[in-house]
Structure 1
């Protein structure tokens, strides 16, 4: 039960490696390996690179595992609730990305107008 009381903010820093083994991710996120394998089945977004019989997690996968861990353990979402929340967050992020691109485009167009006038 002690693991459940550990907050995401207490997790160790993620090293600057490109790939992590399931054991390393387990240690970085304080989640057992069999739980990570289960989460791969439940969360389509979590798909580590597989080479042969081994899993290699990318940096974004480790961040996603930490996000899933926070939703399930800290915020007490169910699996379905966490899945829904992740989809909602992805949509929100996409809208934010579009907004940034639109603002940059408007700024560039205003610069062009200033040059032409």
Structure 2
């Protein structure tokens, strides 16, 4: 069901109305879930207006999935969320790192590898030409080394 929800825009804060639209849940349900799920704590500003961050929108989508799609009760969803949070904490403590997006890096990287400096001549950020390109290649190499180190730890 989550696949039918709209993409989350690249913004720092979302109003309750925006979150309602992004998650397919009415605003009063969001306010109720705040009381039931301690992990859900939007920032409140003047007039008690709620501002949600990206991670909270993702959490609301997860709560919605647990309740509406998987059939959990509020109590069961609360327990499941706590369990998921604990698993994530344990992974961090063990030094594991989620490598989400690595495929995207590789796709983008192949474009960089095939590019030539003259492809960047019209690009304002790369006016320095060779030096900037070399720096990008060095960063790329370092990122892949880090990824390989992290992958080897599993």
After TM superposition, is the score higher than 0.5?
A: yes
CA distance in 1, matches of 2:61, 2:16: 13
Q: Which residue of 2 aligns with 1:96?
A: 91
1:42, 1:80 → 2: CA distance? 8
Whether 1:65 and 2:79 are equivalent positions in the alignment is no
Query: What is residue 112 of structure 1 aligned with on the other side?
Result: none
**Structure 1 runs (4+) greater than 6 angstroms displaced:** none
The TM-score, its normalising length taken from structure 1, stands at 0.79
Counterpart position of 1:56: 51
Equivalent of 2:72, from 65, 68, 77? Answer: 77
Residue in 2 aligned with 1:110?
none
What is the alpha-carbon distance in structure 2 between the residues aligned to residue 76 and residue 8 of structure 1?
14
Q: Please state whether the residue corresponding to 1:100 is helix, strand or coil.
A: coil
Aligned equivalents of 1:95, 1:76: Cα separation in 2: 27
Q: Which of these two proteins has the greater Rg computed from alpha carbons?
A: 2
